[in-house]
């Protein structure tokens, strides 16, 4: 798929630059390990789908936005796995970065990826200042404090948790940034797209909580039951399995309905359909009882419309 | 001093923004602790001294550059102190951040500060695109891989160490960025100033190695003998105490000589003089023997010219 190859090629380029001489050899290997092979590349996929829907006016800028989002995501995964967070030995079916390269390298790779994210977009500032200003703002909001990934991870250690703020910061914020940056890079109006990103991001958070509660470690490629074990806030704890599945379907349906009218609307609809199938496959529903079937079917109908 | 108040006010502004609602309370407190009270604020001081020397055309942009450099520095100190790096219980005379707030918060504050650094400069992109593009590039080079702070810290875990690359990345790169960003923000030509920053940064690295070898923990506000204990590359190990002091004086003298001709040259000369006195106070020389006195005096004469 053309989108995938754009993402991988752009990532390869910035990784090559960051790992070139005089980069220390161990750090360079760890940076490559953190980025390749990737997971679903969902966030950069959303970014490029939105950019295309908006006309894809400046593909190189859209690529930069897409990989910036992915690099921030990769950094957050590394940190999530560290001993002082989830202490996870596995990620994407292989050793987590600190297990393979040590904690010091893991922390430094996180830093390097965050810097690479801002650097990728900054490279286009002189040519597209207004767009880059907006993209950089969106990335900073999604990554830092008070309401980005750093804040999202921090909520997990707070005595009292604002669940909505936690979920937004931990997951939805970066999806929002992906949609906003994609729209801006593509030549569109970002406001309408922000909501699409936020809803898909919220759906991912629910799916992640569900996967943690239900999944098999081998399938997910990471340890399960972390939320319960760590007494972490979780949608499943609040709504139960069935309630969480209903919520997931609702969010995906709302995301689909939020897509603004535009020429390339179809590319985002298709992207959301694929994402929905990945997030809520039929086997996830096997535990649902008959009385919930109707509601779920309605919601599912909305997603697949 | 006007420079100090500019730096503190600009830092206060970005810290207030990052710690505003909905920032988790513990994270917000840790961010404030990481930035206030500061140490010498040497890097932002250099940045503003150079900006003034170049005409200080756009003070708000120079302030943003100065605090970006300081935020990156604060992030690096937090990480340096972590158990998997120096495992230092003290910093600036008080508990290191992870000792006070826990490792998770320390890592997240590091992320947040890096994001705040890029965000501070990004805020001026629309108004000053060419300048911001150059400043953002300088910051990214100084902070990330292959040759910024992340790489510098990574060299400490490598099997084989490139000492010049290590010292440049760990310390000199951020001083270079401070000088370059100050020149760009002030309306000057950055090329000539890069060398001033690199030389002062190299001097700081030597002074840091010397302080580690000679200092008293109470005076430095952090543990000493870390280089020897960790078998870390150090100028003192390579040149001995006296050789390191000579090297420090040489570097400070060269930095002073590298200041390009400009109207506001005096502000940078004064800045360097104060920095030199802090870095190499008379008591540091008390261990020198007579045969080295002449060389040192010459070098010192250059510094204080």
Whether the pLDDT of residue A176 is over 70: the answer is: yes
CB B22 to CB A143 under 8 A?
Answer: no
Return the number of other C-beta atoms located less than 10 Å from residue B92's C-beta: 14
- Token code pair at residue A284: 């996830």
Chain B CB contacts of A114 below 8 Å: 111, 114-115
CB A213 within 8 A of CB A225: yes
pLDDT in tens, A264-303: 888 899 999 888 888 876 666 655 544 344 333 333 332 2
Return the number of other C-beta atoms located less than 10 Å from residue A93's C-beta: 13
Question: Distance between CA B293 and CA B290 in Å, rounded?
Answer: 5
Nearest CB to B104: which of A85, A103, A110? A85
CB A26 to CB B116 under 8 A?
Answer: no
CB A260 within 8 A of CB A250: no
Give CA angle at A301 (A295, A302), nearest 5°: 95
Chain A: residue whose CA lies nearest to B78:
A107
**Residue B259 pairs with which residues in a beta bridge?**
none
Higher local confidence (pLDDT), A156 or A227: A156
Q: How far is CA B146 from the centre of its chain?
A: 18
Question: Distance between CA B151 and CA A27 in Å, rounded?
Answer: 7
Given CA atoms A268, A269, A274, A275 in this order, what sign does their dihedral have? positive
Residues of chain B with confidence (pLDDT) below 70:
1, 215-231, 281-305
Higher local confidence (pLDDT), A304 or B241: B241
Nearest CB to B122: which of A110, A115, A137? A137
- The rounded percent of chain A whose pLDDT value lies above 70 is 85
Question: pTM here?
Answer: 0.90
CB B144 to CB A84 under 8 A?
Answer: no
CB B24 to CB A155 under 8 A?
Answer: yes
Question: Distance between CA A108 and CA B223 in Å, rounded?
Answer: 22
DSSP state for residue A259 in the 8-state scheme: P
Q: 């001083």: which residue's tokens? A: B175
CA atoms within 13 A on the CB side of A175: 21
Interface test with A, best of B110, B135, B154, B184 (most A CBs within 10 A): B154
Question: Distance between CA B270 and CA B264 in Å, rounded?
Answer: 11
- Token code pair at residue B49: 């001294």
pLDDT in tens, A228-241: 666 677 888 888 98
CB B26 within 8 A of CB B112: no
Of A63, A69, A199, A206, the closest CA to residue A141 belongs to: A69
ipTM of the complex: 0.90
Band (pLDDT 50/70/90 cuts) for residue A56 is very high
Please report the pLDDT score of residue B221 as a whole number. 60
Q: pLDDT averaged over chain A? A: 88
Please report the pLDDT score of residue B168 as a whole number. 93
Please report the pLDDT score of residue B216 as a whole number. 52
3-state secondary structure of A91: strand
Domains annotated on chain A, with CATH = 2-303 (1.10.600.10)
User: Is the bond into A105 cis (omega within 30 degrees of 0)?
Assistant: no
Chain A: residue whose CA lies nearest to B82:
A104
Please report the pLDDT score of residue B305 as a whole number. 21
User: Is the bond into B37 cis (omega within 30 degrees of 0)?
Assistant: yes
User: Is the bond into B189 cis (omega within 30 degrees of 0)?
Assistant: no
Please report the pLDDT score of residue A286 as a whole number. 58
- The rounded percent of chain A whose pLDDT value lies above 90 is 70
Please report the pLDDT score of residue A182 as a whole number. 98
| B91 backbone dihedrals φ, ψ, rounded to 5° | -155, 130
CB A143 to CB B115 under 8 A?
Answer: yes
Chain A: residue whose CA lies nearest to B109:
A150
Higher local confidence (pLDDT), A72 or A233: A72
Return the number of other C-beta atoms located less than 10 Å from residue B40's C-beta: 13
Of A26, A109, A34, A112, the closest CA to residue B158 belongs to: A26
If phi > 0 it is left, if psi is from -120 to 50 it is alpha, else beta; for residue A23 that is: beta
Instruction: Give the residue-averaged pLDDT of A151-176.
Output: 93
CB B26 within 8 A of CB B89: no
Question: Distance between CA B177 and CA B193 in Å, rounded?
Answer: 10
**Shortest CA gap A154–chain B (Å):** 6
**Shortest CA gap B278–chain A (Å):** 30
**Residue A95 pairs with which residues in a beta bridge?**
A90
Return the number of other C-beta atoms located less than 10 Å from residue B162's C-beta: 15
CB A215 within 8 A of CB A264: no
Give whole-number Cα distances, B53 to B38, B126, B185, B201, in Å.
24, 25, 11, 19
Return the number of other C-beta atoms located less than 10 Å from residue A153's C-beta: 24
Instruction: Give the residue-averaged pLDDT of A93-99.
Output: 96
Chain A: residue whose CA lies nearest to B112:
A144
Q: 């702070």: which residue's tokens? A: B149
| A43 backbone dihedrals φ, ψ, rounded to 5° | -65, -50
Question: Distance between CA B301 and CA B251 in Å, rounded?
Answer: 12
């Amino acid at each position: 798929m053309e989108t995938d190859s754009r993402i991988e090629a752009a990532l390869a380029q910035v990784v090559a630059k960051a790992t070139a001489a005089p980069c220390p050899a161990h750090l360079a290997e760890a940076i490559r390990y953190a980025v390749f092979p990737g997971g679903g590349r969902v966030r950069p996929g959303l970014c490029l789908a939105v950019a295309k829907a908006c006309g894809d006016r400046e593909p190189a800028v859209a690529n930069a936005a897409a990989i910036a989002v992915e690099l921030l995501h990769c950094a957050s995964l590394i940190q999530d796995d560290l001993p002082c967070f989830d202490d996870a030995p596995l990620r994407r079916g292989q050793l987590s970065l600190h297990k393979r390269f040590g904690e010091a390298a893991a922390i430094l790779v996180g830093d390097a990826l965050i810097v690479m994210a801002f650097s990728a977009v900054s490279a286009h500032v002189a040519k597209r200042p207004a767009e880059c200003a907006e993209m950089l703002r969106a990335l900073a909001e999604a990554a830092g404090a008070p309401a980005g990934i750093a804040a999202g991870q921090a909520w997990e250690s707070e005595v009292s948790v604002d669940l909505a703020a936690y979920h937004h910061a931990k997951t939805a914020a970066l999806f929002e940034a992906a949609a906003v940056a994609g729209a801006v890079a593509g030549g569109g109006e970002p406001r309408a797209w922000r909501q699409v990103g936020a809803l898909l991001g919220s759906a991912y958070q629910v799916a992640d909580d569900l996967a943690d509660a239900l999944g098999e470690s081998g399938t997910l490629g990471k340890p399960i039951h972390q939320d319960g074990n760590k007494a972490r806030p979780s949608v499943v704890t609040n709504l139960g399995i069935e309630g969480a599945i209903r919520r997931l379907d609702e969010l995906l349906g709302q995301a689909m309905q939020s897509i603004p009218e535009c020429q390339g609307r179809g590319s985002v609809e298709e992207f959301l359909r694929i994402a929905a199938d990945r997030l809520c496959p039929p086997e996830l529903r096997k535990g649902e009882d008959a009385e919930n079937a109707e509601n779920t079917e309605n919601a599912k109908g909305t997603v697949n419309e």
